[in-house]
Amino acid sequence: MKQVFAILGFCIALASCDCHQVVRGTVFDFATGKPIIGLEVYNKDKSRSNTITDSLGKFELSNVSGGITCPPMTVVLGSKDYKNTEVIIPSGGNMSIVLKKK
């Protein structure tokens, strides 16, 4: 009986673990190939978790989500000059993204 409770307790603890997601990327302009500076980037599921691209077009977003494995993050990128784009980045991933102007 003790073994059953120990296994059950382990399963509950494992299922309640949180995953710390971190995704990174670099955003480039389609026409020029240059990095896009100051572009808004946010997690689609948590729009308060946002950032902007730096002087090299790079960004980093982090999030805590529940579960045993870290799911991919849907990232939304856009500005007044560029078409809003959604990209799915695996947790721990680093992606190069090319955007077209409106």
pTM for the full predicted model: 0.78
78 within 8 A of 8, measured Cβ to Cβ: no
Percent of the chain with pLDDT over 90: 63
> Which pLDDT score is estimated for 64?
82
Right CATH number for 18-99 from 2.60.40.1120, 3.40.50.10740, 3.30.980.10, 3.40.50.670?
2.60.40.1120
Span 33-62, mean pLDDT?
93
The two tokens of residue 29 are: 């302009």
Span 77-100, mean pLDDT?
95
> Which pLDDT score is estimated for 24?
98
